[in-house]
Every structure is written in structure tokens, then in C-alpha cells.
Structure 1
């Protein structure tokens, strides 16, 4: 039995980016950026003698957004058995070089690094990308350096979401009109 259990309540902030892209196009856009195969993280650790070597090894897998693919879970492949006919993929993505900027301030940031996004098929051949803002999960107690690092992650993830959903194009179009 545990000596003590500590409960720390917190509130997450969910963001949803609706896209005019089809589900397939959204999945393709995301994977074109972060990679189509999961990064072999443990192999990168094994082949690196020190932090500098690890950084160089990681950089080989980082996409334009600064993220790499860790895993994908095709929920749509199994929820059909329960009568739910939707395409849904949960994608785990991140970058150990970003994660360390938070982990050095609070090791429990590792609960939410790497991050996850959910890609969903929507009506009318549209799609959506949804995630919970990392800072709303990671920063649960006052910690300014952790909050600054987590907000940088928020900005990088939002930029990726805007880019792959095409929302950045829509924002600039709306601003111009």
C-alpha cells in the first residue's frame, strides 16, 4: 500500500481545429510533417554516447514543425465492432529535445510529453484535429520556468495544427478580407 497519495486537480484546455480537408488529406498532411514511421527512440538512445550525440540522432527524425511521430492508434479500426462508423486516429508526437526543456523543471511533465492529437473524420468529407493544450496539463503548480517551456510547446503544437488543417490559410484569408 502506498504511504501517501497526493491529489492535484487541474483543468485541461481542449482545442479543436476544423478543416475543409478530407480525413485522408489531414492524416497525410500531418504525417508528411512528422514522419510516416515512428522514430526509433530507444535505438537513438543506444547509438548515442552522450547528449550531443543524442541531439544529432534525434534531429534526423524531426520534421519541419519540430516534431516526430512516436505512435498512431487507429481507433476507427476497432470502434466499428461497436457499431461506430467513424475514422479516428490518435497520434502521439513530440521531440525529446523539446520535452527536456520541461522535464528539467518538473519530471512529472513526462506524463504529457510526448503530446497527443486526435484526427477525426467529420461530416461533408471534412476533418478535425483536436488536442489538449500541453501547458494546461503540465503546469499544475506555480513554476515559471516550466510554464514558459510549456507555453513554447503550446505555440509549436498550435502552429502545426494550423498548418496541417489548412486553418492558417483560412485565418490569413479572413484577415485579408
Structure 2
């Protein structure tokens, strides 16, 4: 019996926009195909018979984009219920991802599944108009050495950096001010 503890430092990324939360969520839902994700995604992951069926199904769900919707939770709702209030800023945590991207990391280290699929927090500003989007940078949370002093597999680091870039592109897309 053994126990290993590895300390690591993660990067938290926060974007702020003057866009109202409803607009940000509508854009996010569109970008990750919320209507087509969730239960249909889980059904595909459970029932696909081979790699081709899995890839074709995932490509259909992502609709040419990088991510698809897994799930979300409205934290403000249960917090308001718990505290008997109504003033908690709207706060959602979304789980989104793409198993085709995930496999590029998980093939090197299954413990990356602790942070795959990624999660993002979308919350309305409490004291000003606008919205904050917060996520932990996958390149800082996924490639963690298995033990102190051990290096991270270069392919895992590269794949996690690619995921970070894609996540940043998604956030930039949903907060872009010049969208009609």
C-alpha cells in the first residue's frame, strides 16, 4: 500500500465582458450544440460499436466545432434555495468537451480524466452589468507528473496546450462584441 502526493500549480483564466449573461449563455449554447449534446452524447458514448461509429457520431454532434455540451448546473438556484434568498448572481457551471480531443491526452495519462471534460463557470457580475467566464487552464491541470521530480510526457503537455487554445478560442467567440 502506498500514497503519493504531487503538488502542482494551476492557472485560472477569467474573462469579463459587458455582455449580459443571457446573451453569453445563448452564444455558448449555440457554440457547443446544447440541444444536440447531453443525453444524445452519452447515448453515443455508451452504444457506439467501433471507432468509426464513435467518430462519425461525435463529428455530427460537434457540427464542425471543437466542443459539444455535456451538462450544466445552475448554482444560483440551489444557493438561493439553501439560504432562503433571491439575490445570488446567476451562476452556471458548464461541462463541455469532445472525446476526440480528450483521447489525445487520455492515451498518455488516464488521470487527466480528473479535468476532462473541462468545466467553465459563467456568472453575472454582482455589482455591475456584464458577465464573467472562468476556467482552469487545461495545460496547467491535466499534465501533472505522477510523482515528485518526474517530468510530464511531452505529447500529453502538447495535447493539453491544444485543448487550452481551443477553450480560449471558444470563450473569445462567445464574448466577441461585434456579433449580430
- Give distance in 1, aligned partners of 2:154 and 2:92: 34
- Give distance in 2, aligned partners of 1:63 and 1:154: 20
Task: Indicate if the aligned counterparts of 2:34 and 2:68 stay in contact, CA closer than 8 A.
Answer: no
Q: List gaps (5 residues or longer) in structure 1.
A: 170-177
- Give distance in 1, aligned partners of 2:17 and 2:54: 36
1:140 is aligned to 2:131? no
State the match for 2:79 in structure 1. 79
- Give distance in 2, aligned partners of 1:45 and 1:137: 24
The structure-2 alpha-carbon separation of the partners of 1:87 and 1:63, relative to structure 1 and needing over 3 Å to count, comes to: farther
Runs of 4+ in 1 over 6 A off after TM superposition: none
Task: Give the length in aligned residue pairs.
Answer: 166
TM-score, length of structure 1 as denominator length: 0.88
Q: List gaps (5 residues or longer) in structure 2.
A: 146-151
- Give distance in 1, aligned partners of 2:46 and 2:114: 23
Q: Which moved more, 1:116-125 or 1:78-87?
A: 78-87
1:126 is aligned to 2:124? no
Which whole-Å deviations, capped at 9, do the CAs of 1:17-65 have from their partners, x for residues lacking one? 1111101001111001102233323321344221111000111111454
State the match for 1:112 in structure 2. 115
State the match for 1:101 in structure 2. 104
